[in-house]
Amino acid sequence: MTDPAPLKARTLAVQAMGTGDPATKAVVPPVHVSTTYIRDPDNQYRSGYIYGRPDNATVRQAEAVIAALEGAPQALLFGSGVAASTAVVLALDRPTHIVASQIMYWAFRKWLASATRFGHRIDFVDSSDLDAMRAAVKPGETGLVYIETPGNPLWTITDIAAVSEIAHKAGAAVCVDSTVATPVFTRPLSLGADIVMHSASKYLNGHSDVIAGALATAREDDYWSRIQAVRAQHGAILGPFEAWLLLRGLRTLDTRVRAQTESAILLSTWLGKHPAIAQVFYPGRHDHPGHAVAAKQMAGGYGAMLSIRVKGGEQAAIGAAARVQLWKRATSLGGVESLIEHRASVEGPDTPCPADLLRLSVGLEDAEDLYADLDRALRAAN
């Protein structure tokens, strides 16, 4: 008798890896909130749990689903995406040269720029330009290449396989922020990355009610052990109730992301023809400079994030955002509700983001309703 075929990632997520409650047979797993655990009579901890700061059973359950989705032997959950990203840097075994994407989440870019206080040298590079990456990565000097693709908020596409090859030839580790692509469309570890990072507050959870971060590794090596130690020593683990909510959100990840992406494709087409819009940034568009690479590494879809530049300039963009009714003027992304934001106002004077740009996180509303709302706001602003 042959073994059954391996379950697809979507099935594993919906089933939460088959985890329920063995004591009550409940379909939904319980929340484990205990901070401490009873020792065995001989003073051992054979249950595998000692204290709540480094470990938790509910956290482990959510980590197992994320690891399965990314094809990783192990994943770790953190109290935020920034906590996960900074752990990757804090776990480096010595001061080193770091090459990072020029276009990335602004809060981590700002923190990374300050990592010189740990003795690191930081270069921000257009990671979509492979020649620029080859010039920036120094054999024997560069210890980490940190890329974000698609890169927020211009949705720059970086060739993960090519950059991983460049980095590994130089002896550097590769971490990929794949928050926007999600494991539904991209699995960076299969393309050569060493670590994949997610702001799990976004699509993995999907309901705008959890702040969380996740890392998944290609291998359980010394570097990964140091990352585990950083989380434990810094008390950066995700709380059990947040992990339970994340586990709930993960069950619908595939369905949510695919539906949101279908709407994003429609909106990118319609908005590209709008008289008030100068440019649309979306990797699924053929005029996007990274479209060919995105088509290669984003299997089945291009995500649900896009940005638009408004012809009237900064004030016209801000005015349009002020007039929407369905779209919510709020930061973040990846929830079921559609969000709109003037990014330059958030990121400040050193932002690479154009002043006339609005970032759109497409939710699960009807695409025609979302377009009609934007159309009214754009026409009224001009």
Q: Do 166 and 35 share a structural domain? A: yes
Q: What's the Cα-to-Cα distance from 329 to each of 16, 282, 338, 346, rounded to whole Å?
A: 33, 20, 9, 12
Q: Do 372 and 239 share a structural domain? A: no
Domain assignment present for 2: no
Q: Which of 250, 272, 295 is the last residue of a domain?
A: 250
| Per-residue model confidence as pLDDT tens digits over 287-308 | 999 999 999 999 999 999 999 9
Domain assignment present for 4: no
> Alpha-carbon torsion 55, 56, 61, 65, what sign?
negative
Q: Do 214 and 129 share a structural domain? A: yes
Q: Which of 218, 250, 282 is the last residue of a domain?
A: 250
With 90 as the cut, is the pLDDT of residue 19 above it? Answer: no
Mean pLDDT lowest among 11-25, 124-138, 202-216, 265-279: 11-25
Which positions ≥6 away from 38 have C-beta within 8 Å? none
Question: Among residues 358, 333, 347, 344, which one has the least CA distance to residue 113?
Answer: 347
Domain assignment present for 16: yes
Q: Do 364 and 282 share a structural domain? A: yes
Mean pLDDT lowest among 15-19, 49-53, 275-279, 373-377: 15-19
Q: Do 202 and 156 share a structural domain? A: yes
176, β-bridge pairs: 147, 196
Q: What is the pLDDT of residue 350?
A: 83
| Alpha carbons 52 and 33: distance in angstroms, whole number | 8
Q: Which of 250, 278, 309 is the last residue of a domain?
A: 250
Domain assignment present for 337: yes
Of residues 40 and 196, the one with the higher pLDDT is 196
Mean pLDDT lowest among 4-8, 122-126, 193-197, 252-256: 4-8
Q: Do 294 and 208 share a structural domain? A: no
With 80 as the cut, is the pLDDT of residue 176 above it? Answer: yes
CATH code, domain with 357? 3.90.1150.10
With 90 as the cut, is the pLDDT of residue 229 above it? Answer: yes
Q: Can you give the residue range of the structural domain that contains 154? A: 9-250
Q: What are phi and psi of 234, to 5 degrees?
A: -90, 0
Q: Do 245 and 96 share a structural domain? A: yes
With 60 as the cut, is the pLDDT of residue 1 above it? Answer: no
If you average pLDDT over residues 195-205, what whole number do you get? 98
Domain assignment present for 184: yes
AA letter at 356: D
Q: Do 219 and 339 share a structural domain? A: no
With 70 as the cut, is the pLDDT of residue 382 above it? Answer: no
Do 152 and 303 meet the contact criterion of CB atoms below 8 Å apart? Answer: no
Domain assignment present for 89: yes
Question: Among residues 115, 275, 264, which one has the least CA distance to residue 182?
Answer: 264
174, β-bridge pairs: 145
Q: Do 146 and 85 share a structural domain? A: yes
Active site residues: 53, 105, 177, 202
Question: What is the tally of structural domains in the chain?
Answer: 2
| Alpha carbons 315 and 305: distance in angstroms, whole number | 22
Q: Do 196 and 74 share a structural domain? A: yes
CATH code, domain with 179? 3.40.640.10
pTM greater than the 0.75 cutoff: yes
Q: How confident is the model at residue 348 (pLDDT cuts 50, 70, 90)?
A: confident
Where do we find the tokens 């927020």?
152
With 60 as the cut, is the pLDDT of residue 284 above it? Answer: yes
Of residues 232 and 12, the one with the higher pLDDT is 232
With 60 as the cut, is the pLDDT of residue 357 above it? Answer: yes
Q: What is the pLDDT of residue 22?
A: 82
Domain assignment present for 1: no
If you average pLDDT over residues 63-83, what whole number do you get? 97
Q: How confident is the model at residue 2 (pLDDT cuts 50, 70, 90)?
A: low
| Alpha carbons 309 and 326: distance in angstroms, whole number | 20
Give percent of the chain with pLDDT exceeding 70. Answer: 99
Q: Do 330 and 287 share a structural domain? A: yes
Q: What is the pLDDT of residue 352?
A: 87
Q: How confident is the model at residue 381 (pLDDT cuts 50, 70, 90)?
A: low
Q: Do 258 and 237 share a structural domain? A: no
